[in-house]
Amino acid sequence: MKIKSRYYFLIFCAVILCVPILFREQFSYMIRLWFEIPKREVNKFFIHNHSIILFPICLGKIIKDSICYIESKNYISPFIILIISLVLIIIGSLSSIYYVSNIGIILSILTCIIYFYGYDGILKNKILVFLIFFLVPLPQYILIQIYSKISIISSLISEKILLFLGWSVYFDGNIVDLGLAKISSIDINNFLSVMFFFIGFIIFLSHFINRNFVVRIVFLLSNLILFFCAVVFKSILFVYYVKIGSELNKILSSSVNYIILTVLCLFSFLYFYFIKNSSNISFSASRYFSFENSFNKFRFIRLNLIIYLSLIVLSSIYLKNHNQNYIPEREMFVNFPVIIKNYHGKESYVDKNDLASLHLDDYLSRIYTIDNQSSIEIWVAYYGSQKPGASIHSPKACLRGGGWEMIDGGDVFIESEKFNFKRFIIKIGDQKQLVYYTYIVGNKIVTNEYLVKFYLIFNKLLFNRSDGALIRIVTPLLKGEEISNADERIKQFLTSLLAVLRPYISSKEG
């Protein structure tokens, strides 16, 4: 049974739209993520909203080539790819890892293309397929680590150049000391925020270079080196305007980034044009966009379509049912005691915008003191039901994002209360602090970020609950103070705290 080309294409469009409709929560979060990152972290971390321009272009190119070219050999059954994609969506949704579910959604869309038109468009556009996956924003924890590492390298190079020019500048960890002012390397290197868009742009251009693999690699690497030079140049420019006390550094943070990006993209395009024209291979538009004999490639197999849609619908229903989580009863932090034995507490202010971005259900933020000892700050974030965008995240992400340098100090076990804590020292400039943190997932106490996700999936599948909490304890290290003294201070506080805290973070059920 053959179907006319236009009806075949309309059925294809209808089926491919089923993915974002049935998984609308996951899909809408993926789109929202592209636009909300720059709002939450203005000019600090990677901005992805420019990259969404490339997404429909790449997908459209793959679809056009799929319906224009002759059927190729099937390497992997589309059913296997579909099952993998649906498993990724389910795991990502249950574990609140948006990146995994987003990859699953894109993979299911590509599977739909394979079902209707085979592997032709996928194989012909391997670079664009890679680019589509590359454009999906990585988890914030990974993004901040990438940003932090690159900004430190850039700051070190900028420091050497500035010293060569005779400027007084000193680099200490994540802080650049200019004498009159101290600036975080993250603020100085804010041009890195457009890195993913620029890399996506040059990957997109490299797809149209019909030369051997080496030429494409040279094109990509040379553009990456150029971008890194631009990052160093922008950081030196930023430091210069801060050094002379000009208010223009505020303008530079927003407008000049886009001017430099435009110049880089223009240069990359001219470089691409030069390489393309040096090739003997023709770049005919009709070759890429012809629809001649495009829709009569396959027989329409109704059974495959029914199975494809059934699997997607069943997965969507399963996730919808698991969104109704059981939330155990617990005490509210508004009733948490201000005095714990000899420790006296006072509320610690939390910015409203920060609270809104965390999407938590309850929290405790206090500073406790005893006698003349240094203060101890406690932060507990509780989630009754976790989902992508509203789940526990590692303190390492926040601290690195704030410019803190981190030194891992291993695990600590509080014997009296059977609690494990992760321990590390953080440093920014002359300030040092000792940090303890741990996670509560259901009734499990976990210090490993990956085990947190494992137990979250386990609890959702078996008990239909996703409650959890993050406990973070911080105390300052005074100048010349031994770390062992700060350790003892936190341990004594935890011995008094944990017995009182348990009813507020978990229940005896499940």
Nearest CA to 497 out of 468, 467, 466, 475 is that of 475
Report helix, strand or coil for 406.
strand
Low-confidence ranges of the chain (pLDDT < 70): 1-8, 33-50, 69-76, 170-182, 184-187, 211, 242-255, 279-309, 314, 317-325, 388-389, 397, 399-403, 416-417, 507-510
Residue 472's pLDDT is what?
Answer: 92
* SS3 (DSSP) at 168: coil
In this prediction, residue 250 carries a pLDDT of 52
All residues at 6 or more sequence positions from 158 whose CB lies less than 8 Å from its CB, including other chains: 176, 188, 232, 235, 236, 239
Residue with tokens 């206090």: 366
CA atoms of 211 and 463, how far apart (whole Å): 55
Contact present, 151 and 228 (Cβ < 8 Å): no
Q: How many residues does the chain have?
A: 510
Report d(CA 130, CA 488) in Å as an integer.
50
Separation CA 266–CA 250 (nearest Å): 25
Cα angle value 485/380/411 (rounded, 5°): 45
How far is it, in rounded angstroms, from Cα 283 to Cα 289?
11
User: How remote is the C-alpha of 308 from its chain's centroid?
Assistant: 30
- Which three-class secondary structure state does DSSP give residue 354? helix
Which has the closest alpha carbon to 420: 456, 443, 447? 447
> Could you give the domains of the chain?
5-137+293-322 (no CATH), 141-248 (no CATH), 333-505 (3.40.1000)
Mean pLDDT of the chain: 76
Q: Which residue has the tokens 């770390």?
A: 483
Query: SS3 helix, strand, coil % of the chain, rounded to 5?
Result: 60, 15, 25
Helices (H), 165-289: 185-188, 195-207, 213-243, 248-251, 257-277, 285-289
d(CA 301, CA 73): 17
With 0-12 / 13-18 / 19 or more C-beta atoms within 10 angstroms meaning exposed / middle / buried, residue 307 is middle
Kindly report the CA angle at 392 between 391 and 397, in degrees rounded to 5? 115
User: How far is residue 465 CA from its own chain's centroid?
Assistant: 24
Residues 6+ apart with CB under 8 A from 89: 23, 26, 101, 104, 105, 108, 315, 319
DSSP per-residue string spanning 267-307: HHHHHHHHHHHTSSS---HHHHH--TT-S-SS---HHHHHH
